Chains A and B, each alone.
Chain A
Amino acid sequence: MLTVTGVCTVLAVSVLFFILGYLFIQGGRSLNWDFLTKLPAPVGGTGGGMANAIVGSGQVLLLATMIGVPIGFLAGVYLAEYEGVLFSSLVRFVTDLLNGVPSIVIGIFAYTLIVLRVKHFSAIAGGVALGIMMIPIAVRSTEEFLRAVPVSLREGALALGSSRWKMVVTVVIPAALRGILSGMMLNLARVAGETAPLLFTSLNNQFWSTGLSQPTATLPVMIYAYAISPYPDWHRQAWAAGFLLLMLVLSVNVTARYVISSGFSHKARV
């Protein structure tokens, strides 16, 4: 039994190493300064880069953070600090529901909400789609880390005459801030790799996007478009972009998990 189950584990772990290794070999050599700073070359031509996709991804993720993090964080504060028995259970249930919705359905939602109404694709629609995806995990991680703060900390602040909101803002949240921030980083890393909701909200763009209300190139969508194309040079660039995306996502993941695990060992002792 040890061998059988051990083989299963080794199989699962080796897939990760295979993916990392293959991307490093295939993508690493194409990742150069040209790739990071130039626009895509004309179809079928060689050279060029993905600068517009990198900037576009940054814009869409910034929009998503501006939408998803405040709503998710404040709703998490509500669930952790203020309890209304029926309403809280309803909010938790709906948050879990929203978490389980496939990303492409959220893309359809952003499409019907924004793209159909203003009649063109935009980075804003993409940001809204990704922002909605960020909300459930933001809620859950905020609530979990706020609940982990000892009750004695809150009672101490109240005993000194603080009002409720001041206690939450100046005592509870700073105590949980490390965990909440790493939760948000994990959230961002997950959403950074999402392609499906962007396929018909922010679409794609061969050039620099001229504004947030215009379609924009994003890294995952470019990888997809280049990978299914018939041009070998585009395949090479898809590998490089994939390597870049994977490195960003995995490094944010590793940092966030390290921060969480070391944070719990230095928890406030009261």
Chain B
Amino acid sequence: MFYATALKKDSRPAGRESSSLVRFFKHALKGDELARGIVFACAASIIAITILLVYELWTKSSLSMATSGLRFLTSQTWDPIAGEFGALPFIYGTVVTSALALLIAIPVGVGAAVFLAELAPSSLSDPMTFLIELLAAVPSVIIGLIGIFVLVPALQTVVPALKSVLGFLPIFSGPFYGVSVFSAGVVLSIMIVPFIISISREVLLAVPRDQREAALALGATRWESTWQVVIPFARTGIIGSIFLALARALGETMAVTMVIGNTPKISASLLAPGYSIASVIANEFTEATGDLYLSALIELGLVLFALSIVLNGAARLLILMTSTKGSK
């Protein structure tokens, strides 16, 4: 950076010796170096915070890892009084609610993304996209409020009809109290649909025009061109958006806690109450008696952290692969 050195003047009087330490500070306190040092320190502090996060999670859960070992992930018994900490009910609850949420959100989300990217005129598409991004901004505790006071009573009127038709299936067996894994899945789908819509829409908009035009030129209908050419081209990005939505669903705490029923039991029925990893941490953290209990909850936090890293990393890789493919 020649301009910096051209402007710097050697201000030491002739014959005076300064120590290298003094020279270092004089150099470092010059405007440019100081500014660079400050912003570098801030950037480095982010790395330091993340390393500290992993370190704290690891050390504080080491007690539980040493005591329970692999049983933590395979045992179904969560009995704080007896000192037995098996996290399988929570892992099951998290997986089932997320899977149910994805089952609802993927068709609705991809369908809406196709409508907004391909079919709707821009004057309709832009405001609707804006509204859907506002839905993503609604705090989770408010969706939980709607879940407790609107969704659960509504389900209590609808589900008996469902049970009378499909009650023979094991996933719809058992009594329905309103709060259940099913309600949690529905509430979670409301929260993740905006992410799928907005990312899928951007990915679909990034598909080059010549792909669509080539399909239409070969005589395909609008439906065929979208379904058989555009979507497969953008498939990697759409799957990336699904991974991102899944990562978000796994960590979602408040709305799920309010409607899942808080019962650490694995049951085949979707209508039974359950428990998710984030919910048990939220409910029991402040009431954890004893170091082992707290350490087990922090180990659950570590599990959640690891899952979110893996999913987010995979999602970004997939979305990156689509965007580089489109720029060929």
Contact = CB atoms under 8 A, between A and B. Distances in A.
Contact of B43 (A79, A98, A190): A79
A82 interface: yes
B300 to A, nearest CB: 9
Interface string A87-119: 100110011111111111110110111001000
Interface stretch (B17-25, B79-87, B146-154, B263-271): B146-154
B1 interface: yes
A8 B108 contact: yes
Contacts of B149: 26, 227, 235
A270 interface: no
B130 A257 contact: yes
Contacts, number: 255
A94 B143 contact: no
Interface in A110-146: 111-113, 116, 132, 135-136, 139
Interface in A187-203: 189-190, 192-196, 199-200, 203
Contacts of B304: 102, 104-105
A71 to B, nearest CB: 5
B296 interface: no
A242 interface: yes
Interface in A126-174: 132, 135-136, 139, 158, 161, 163-166, 168-169
B4 to A, nearest CB: 7
Interface stretch (A32-40, A42-50, A248-256): A248-256
Given A104-B253, A250-B137, A4 B142 contact: no
A208 interface: no
A81 to B, nearest CB: 8
A194 B190 CA distance: 17
B146 A22 contact: yes
Nearest to A90: B47
Interface string B108-125: 110110111001100000
A254 B134 contact: yes
B145 A135 contact: no
Contacts of A26: 149
A78 B40 contact: yes
A91 B43 contact: yes
Contacts of B298: 108, 112
Nearest to B221: A1
Contacts of B234: none
Nearest to A254: B134
Contacts of A104: 251, 253, 278, 281-282, 301, 304
B308 A101 contact: yes
Given A104-B281, A249-B138, A203 B53 contact: no
A246 interface: yes
A262 to B, nearest CB: 14
A113 B56 contact: yes
B141 A224 contact: yes
A230 interface: no
A26 B145 CA distance: 11
Interface residues of A, number: 87
A12 B308 contact: no
Contacts of B134: 16, 250, 253-254
A100 B312 CA distance: 6
A90 B137 CA distance: 29
B309 A100 contact: yes
A246 B114 CA distance: 29
B250 interface: yes
B285 interface: yes
A217 interface: no
A16 B132 contact: yes
Nearest to A113: B56
A75 B144 contact: no
Contacts of B219: none
B223 A74 contact: no
Contacts of B36: 82, 164-165
Interface in B1-57: 1, 3-4, 7, 31-32, 34-36, 38-40, 42-47, 49-50, 52-53, 56-57
Given A8-B115, A249-B138, A102 B35 contact: no
A199 B282 contact: yes
Contacts of B45: 71, 75
Among B1, B112, B142, B313, the most chain A Cβ lie within 10 Å of the Cβ of B142
Given A8-B112, A11-B108, 18 more contacts: A4-B111, A5-B111, A12-B197, A16-B134, A19-B138, A97-B313, A100-B247, A101-B305, A104-B304, A105-B304, A116-B60, A163-B4, A193-B138, A196-B140, A227-B141, A239-B145, A245-B141, A253-B134
27 contacts: A2-B115, A8-B115, A12-B132, A19-B138, A19-B146, A22-B150, A71-B45, A75-B42, A87-B43, A91-B43, A91-B46, A98-B49, A100-B247, A103-B251, A103-B253, A104-B251, A105-B57, A109-B56, A135-B49, A161-B7, A163-B3, A165-B32, A195-B253, A199-B286, A227-B149, A246-B138, A249-B138
